[in-house]
């Protein structure tokens, strides 16, 4: 795995441990002078605690030492629970520099726990692992844009080694293999995406790019197809083929214009193939791309005319 500047982090035993009233000052107040301490107030009879605790531990481990966690059984630490006015459990507090800086009551979903941990890290002036991974994704995207598809693929794969559900890295890995013209591998990677991110915008874009790449392999010569359209202006199949060839040659704007012309002439032609192809091109590009913005505007004006 490539080095993304993320250390393996301390052992779990150093990150998460049980605390007590006797050790609270040392484990929380003193320890939080250098690193944020997450304190989980729980009890053995508390059902939601049994759900939250393991999820919170996973979120702390994922932070790789940027925060630590102390578990306090309120049945054995009633004085501290009273001092902190804990009225229900689970209750979680984050301490930094000896003071509570954030907290919540009740069980939260995993995404909100991750956001809580990142918020605490940033409040303490640290950098959340997600920020570092996003920086690595941006660097890999630059490699891909500059034509270094192999290096980009290695970087995307390394990011996924840190976070298998990083949609940006997953979509990037698919697109890197498309750039290497390894379409079967790109499709295999796409089909193996975790369910949690399978419908993300990043993977939808990668899927659209794969569709277009497969079409490009069968696209005809632009000059011949343009001549066919000029010879028979009403030949919508030739115009559609021309649009595919134009996109394959890198001219997305002209491809969109030809597809819009087909839609203007006969929006139901070939079961709405022109509109479907337009959406595939739009999905493959960034949402703020001028080709997408102008194309969607023109399509909308035709639909609602």
Q: pLDDT for 218-244, tens place per residue? A: 888 999 999 999 999 999 999 999 999
Q: Is residue 19 scored above 70 in pLDDT?
A: yes
Please tell me which residue in 15, 49, 173, 245 is annotated as part of the active site.
Answer: 49
Given this model, what pLDDT does residue 162 score? 80
Residue pair 185/174 in contact (Cβ under 8 Å)? The answer is: no
46 is catalytic: yes
Cβ-based neighbour number of residue 248 at 10 Å: 18
Work out the average pLDDT over 183-204.
92
pLDDT in tens, 126-174: 655 556 777 888 899 999 999 999 999 999 999 898 888 888 999 999 9
- Where is average pLDDT lowest: 10-19, 224-233, 262-271, 292-301? 10-19
CA gap 73, 143 in Å, rounded: 50
Residue pair 56/97 in contact (Cβ under 8 Å)? The answer is: no
CA gap 149, 208 in Å, rounded: 18
Q: Is residue 285 scored above 70 in pLDDT?
A: yes
Phi, psi for 193 (deg, rounded to 5): -65, 140
Band (pLDDT 50/70/90 cuts) for residue 193 is very high
Given this model, what pLDDT does residue 58 score? 86
CA gap 227, 9 in Å, rounded: 63
Instruction: Specify burial of residue 215 (Cβ count, 10 A radius: 0-12, 13-18, 19+).
Output: middle
Counting Cα atoms < 13 Å in the Cβ hemisphere of 224 gives: 6
Given this model, what pLDDT does residue 238 score? 95
Rounded alpha-carbon distances, angstroms, from residue 220 to 56, 204, 230, 239, 249 = 55, 26, 16, 12, 10
CA 43 distance to own-chain centroid: 35
Q: Is residue 61 scored above 90 in pLDDT?
A: no
Q: Is residue 90 scored above 60 in pLDDT?
A: yes
Residues 6+ apart with CB under 8 A from 304: none
- Give Dmax (Cα) for the chain: 90
Band (pLDDT 50/70/90 cuts) for residue 108 is confident
Helices (H), the chain: 12-15, 24, 47-62, 78-83, 110-123, 129-145, 149-162, 167-179, 183-191, 201-217, 222-231, 236-248, 252-265, 273-284, 290-303
Please tell me which residue in 31, 39, 46, 274 is annotated as part of the active site.
Answer: 46
Mean pLDDT, rounded, of the chain: 89
Given this model, what pLDDT does residue 123 score? 81
CA gap 187, 175 in Å, rounded: 10
Work out the average pLDDT over 195-213.
92
Residues 6+ apart with CB under 8 A from 51: 107
- Where is average pLDDT lowest: 34-48, 120-134, 191-205? 120-134
Both tokens of residue 305? 């005319």
CA gap 244, 255 in Å, rounded: 7
Q: Is residue 8 scored above 70 in pLDDT?
A: no
CA gap 243, 173 in Å, rounded: 27
């Amino acid at each position: 795995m490539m080095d993304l500047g993320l250390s393996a982090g301390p052992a779990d035993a150093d990150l998460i441990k049980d605390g007590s009233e006797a050790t609270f000052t040392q484990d929380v107040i003193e320890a939080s002078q250098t690193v944020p301490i997450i304190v989980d107030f729980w009890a053995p009879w508390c059902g939601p605690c049994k759900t939250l605790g393991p999820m919170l531990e996973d979120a702390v481990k994922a932070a790789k030492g940027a925060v630590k966690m102390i578990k306090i059984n309120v049945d054995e630490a009633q004085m501290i629970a009273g001092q902190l006015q804990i009225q229900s459990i689970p209750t979680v507090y984050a301490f930094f520099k000896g003071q509570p800086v954030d907290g919540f009551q009740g069980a939260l979903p995993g995404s909100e726990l991750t956001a809580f941990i990142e918020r605490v890290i940033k409040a303490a002036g640290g950098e959340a692992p997600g920020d570092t991974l996003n920086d690595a994704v941006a660097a890999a995207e630059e490699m891909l844009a500059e034509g270094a598809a192999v290096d980009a693929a290695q970087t995307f794969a390394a990011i996924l080694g840190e976070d298998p559900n990083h949609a940006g890295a997953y979509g990037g890995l698919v697109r890197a293999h498309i750039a290497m013209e390894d379409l079967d591998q790109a499709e295999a990677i796409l089909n193996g995406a975790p369910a949690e991110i399978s419908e993300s915008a990043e993977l939808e874009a990668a899927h659209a790019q794969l569709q277009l790449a497969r079409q490009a392999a069968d696209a005809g010569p632009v000059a011949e197809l343009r001549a066919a359209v000029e010879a028979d202006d009403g030949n919508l199949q030739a115009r559609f083929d021309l649009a595919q060839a134009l996109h394959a040659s890198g001219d997305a704007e002209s491809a969109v214009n030809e597809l819009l012309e087909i839609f203007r002439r006969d929006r139901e032609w070939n079961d709405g193939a022109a509109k479907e192809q337009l959406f595939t091109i739009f999905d493959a590009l960034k949402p703020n791309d001028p080709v997408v913005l102008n194309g969607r505007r023109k399509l909308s004006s035709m639909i609602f005319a």
